[in-house]
Structure 1
Amino acid sequence: MTTAGLSWFTVDAVGAAAPPDTGPLLLDLGDFGSDRTELVGAKAANLARASYAGLPVLPGFVVTTHAAARVRRGEQLPEQALRTRWKQLSGNGTRALIVRSSSVAEDSATSSMAGRFDSVLDVRGWDGFLDAVRQVVGSADAVGSDAPIAVLVQPMSTAQLGGVLFGLDPLTGDRRRLFASVVAGLPEEIVSGAATGTSVVLSRGLGRALETVGPQVPGLTAGLRYRLAALARRTRSVFGSPQDMEWLVDADGVLRLLQSRPVTAAAVPPRHSRPLGTAPIAETFPDALSTLERDLWQRPLDEGIRAALELSGAASRAVLSRPLVHSFGGRLAVDLAAIGAAPGPRRSWLDLIDPRTGLRKLRAAWRIGRLRTAYPMLVEDLVDQVDEQ
């Protein structure tokens, strides 16, 4: 049989001719069928779809699931056709490559399986390339995965900046906001956990920086933020849902899409949920509480926060009617949205025109104004009572 210009013939353990797997063994990202997950895995299929749509994807080719299955059985790769593609992509060995996993089980809407399989960076030379392919394919067996795996091969790029980009706010699920984590260099620094990067919350339209946490990153200009927002909008249009992306800005200043997958359901809070956290009380309660300590502190803390919110007019009756302090394994957590430390559920247009919010704040300002006037007299009365005792 001839496949991709290569005569392929194998012999099994007892010497009988073994029929080859049906289907192509190698595919370029632009080839017909390169967007089929069962052939190239989810990662490569998504990049092929992005490339068809004109998104800035690096060129590359895929060692398909059929060819990888042969490797898993200990058979040889189709050397002639594979070497031809390796020469074209690497400039006959003058340019480094990146060899990445692309499993059928990766990058779904329910599980990304990020970091489960191997990827090999800065691969040089023909022998090094073959070793990298075998390593990536072997990583599926190493983690006990029975799912078919393919191998995505692309040129290694020099990056000015790199990072990850979410097509929504993963903290609140708000689709009007985007979240980016940026680092100088390749995005693998963030993905591998070697660096945390600078986190930026962007507006979906113009990419305005709404919140920034971390050191200033040279090159993260308004122009780049706008291009990141445009990339998030385009991938959402192509794939039909907000995407979790890896990207880089190459040496020529071109923004490149390295990976696009659906934001997993686990990363998005359930509808109408409210974020909880320990940050406001972490210094006071750094450790888990015993049952007695929890009974002693949780209710007074909840009542104190509720009284402060009611006095200041910062929370509605609906917010004040539910618990504000929760306990998980003895650790106390506060409703962050209620105290203004995190965005709450998305408000409807009815909330925006509801006059009760303004009236509540006006009434609270009046109460606080009266307290400020009466405060000196209250202090004098308290001092007199203490002196009398």
Structure 2
Amino acid sequence: MDAVVSLDGATAGHGAKAAGLGELRRAGLPVPDGFVVPASLDQVDLRAAVDGALDALGPHAPVAVRSSATDEDVPGASAAGQYETVLGVAGAQDVVAAVLACRASAAGPRVTAYRAATSGARAAEVAVIVQRLVPARAAGVLFTGDGRTVVEASWGLGESVVQGAVDPDRWTVADSRVVERTTGSKRTRVDRSPGGTTTRDVPAAARDRPCLDDQTVLRLAALGARVADLRGGPQDVEWAVDDAGTIWLLQARPVTAALPDTPAERCERGVLRGTGASGGRASGPARVVRGPGDFGAVRPGDVLVCRETDPAWTPLFGVVAAVVTETGGLLSHAAIVARELRLPAVLGVAGATDTLRGSVTVDGDAGTVRRHPRDPTP
């Protein structure tokens, strides 16, 4: 049978995500230990292979299980958040189930819709990464490129940031100094719990307090620069900081679409402001979607208005003209996919689902949503 391989030995044949992490580990960068389950490993032999590999990590240590598909984390198509990720599982039985879930997600509706909208390629082979789970005090994403590094972060595991479930803290670093900082409202956090993860409320006193100090942000930016130099171009890096203050790199992939510039603040009547996450302008009827039960009401050309977007909502991105959310940041999965699809998006618009009705114009460059006056009654 095809045996699992250590993360240090991962190559392009195990998908770009695994290969990238292997490259970082071989360069001495702080990447959690782990192994890769090849796509060719037969399901019959999977349990025995995982059993043996987990013994080396610690048979009951919690792990993160992530896909490493052949069409994922490649130039021009990140597939950010499209394949399954399972965090916090422990023991061979649950790890095997997580590996199978990652493999099965390749044929799921969100991956299929994303693939049709980007590469148009056929179903991919899916290797799977199993890594030690970092017990994160804070975590998030950083982007390098254009002479700056942008860091977004929140309390706990990075799922809050990548899923757009919070308005994250954000820092911009240029010339080895913090040149801009914005403190978000981090109302919830995701942490490891028995059998997986749990979302819980952040204490009120910590919601509007930065989850990182500037020194840690500069250390993150320096690591991001090392990754970009090693990999030969701007990088999208997921990371975590543990209770001891150690930074761990969890993923690195090419930046597939540049971040929009931050416009100067302005305030106009009838305009709501958020974070311009994907450039361009589009107008259409505001369609408030509160969950999958509302998907059937979405029509081509609508402006999707929601609290946050789950990866399962990706099929809607191929239908709507623009996206507006109440939470989320520049580096969330929804923002990354919107930029790849050139879909105007403004995130973090307070009260959007309660106030946006009728026709609206979304300006992803300015970070605004303009409400059109209602047509006069005849």
Distance in structure 2 (CA, Å) of the matches to 1:282 and 1:135: 48
Change in Cα spacing, 1:60 to 1:288, as seen in structure 2 (3 Å) is: closer
Unaligned runs of 5+ in 2: 113-121, 186-207, 274-281, 286-358, 369-378
Matches within 5 A, 1:106-255: 106-143=72-109, 144=112, 146-168=123-145, 175-203=146-174, 205-215=175-185, 216-255=208-247
**Conserved in 1, the CA contact under 8 Å of 2:89 and 2:95?**
yes
More strand by share: 2
Matches within 5 A, 1:11-30: 24-30=2-8
Change in Cα spacing, 1:284 to 1:124, as seen in structure 2 (3 Å) is: closer
**Conserved in 2, the CA contact under 8 Å of 1:277 and 1:333?**
no
State the match for 1:387 in structure 2.
Answer: none
Matches within 5 A, 1:1-389: 8=1, 24-31=2-9, 34=10, 36-37=11-12, 39-67=13-41, 70-71=42-43, 76-89=44-57, 91-93=58-60, 95-143=61-109, 144=112, 146-168=123-145, 175-203=146-174, 205-215=175-185, 216-265=208-257, 267-268=258-259, 280-281=267-268, 283=270, 331=361
Distance in structure 2 (CA, Å) of the matches to 1:25 and 1:127: 18
Aligned residue identity for 1:48? G
Distance in structure 2 (CA, Å) of the matches to 1:101 and 1:111: 15
Distance in structure 1 (CA, Å) of the matches to 2:130 and 2:231: 22
State the match for 1:307 in structure 2.
Answer: none
Distance in structure 2 (CA, Å) of the matches to 1:159 and 1:248: 6
The alignment of Structure 1 onto Structure 2 pairs a total of residues equal to 254
Change in Cα spacing, 1:147 to 1:333, as seen in structure 2 (3 Å) is: closer
More helix by share: 1
Aligned residue identity for 1:166? F
CA distances 1:57-79 after superposition (whole Å, capped 9, x unpaired): 11100001222xx34xxxx1344
Q: Shift of residue 280 of structure 1?
A: 4.0
CA distances 1:67-119 after superposition (whole Å, capped 9, x unpaired): 2xx34xxxx13443331111221x222x1111111111111120111111101
**Conserved in 2, the CA contact under 8 Å of 1:99 and 1:132?**
yes
Change in Cα spacing, 1:283 to 1:141, as seen in structure 2 (3 Å) is: same
Bigger Rg, which one: 1
Unaligned runs of 5+ in 1: 1-7, 9-23, 169-174, 291-328, 342-389
Change in Cα spacing, 1:261 to 1:81, as seen in structure 2 (3 Å) is: same
State the match for 2:298 in structure 1.
Answer: none
TM-score, with structure 1 as normaliser:
0.59
**Conserved in 2, the CA contact under 8 Å of 1:40 and 1:62?**
yes
**Conserved in 1, the CA contact under 8 Å of 2:3 and 2:49?**
no
Change in Cα spacing, 1:99 to 1:278, as seen in structure 2 (3 Å) is: same
Distance in structure 2 (CA, Å) of the matches to 1:222 and 1:211: 9
Partner of 1:180: helix, strand, or coil?
A: strand
Distance in structure 2 (CA, Å) of the matches to 1:146 and 1:284: 42
Distance in structure 2 (CA, Å) of the matches to 1:60 and 1:183: 25
**Conserved in 2, the CA contact under 8 Å of 1:202 and 1:211?**
no
CA RMSD of aligned residues (A): 3.2
**Conserved in 2, the CA contact under 8 Å of 1:280 and 1:334?**
no
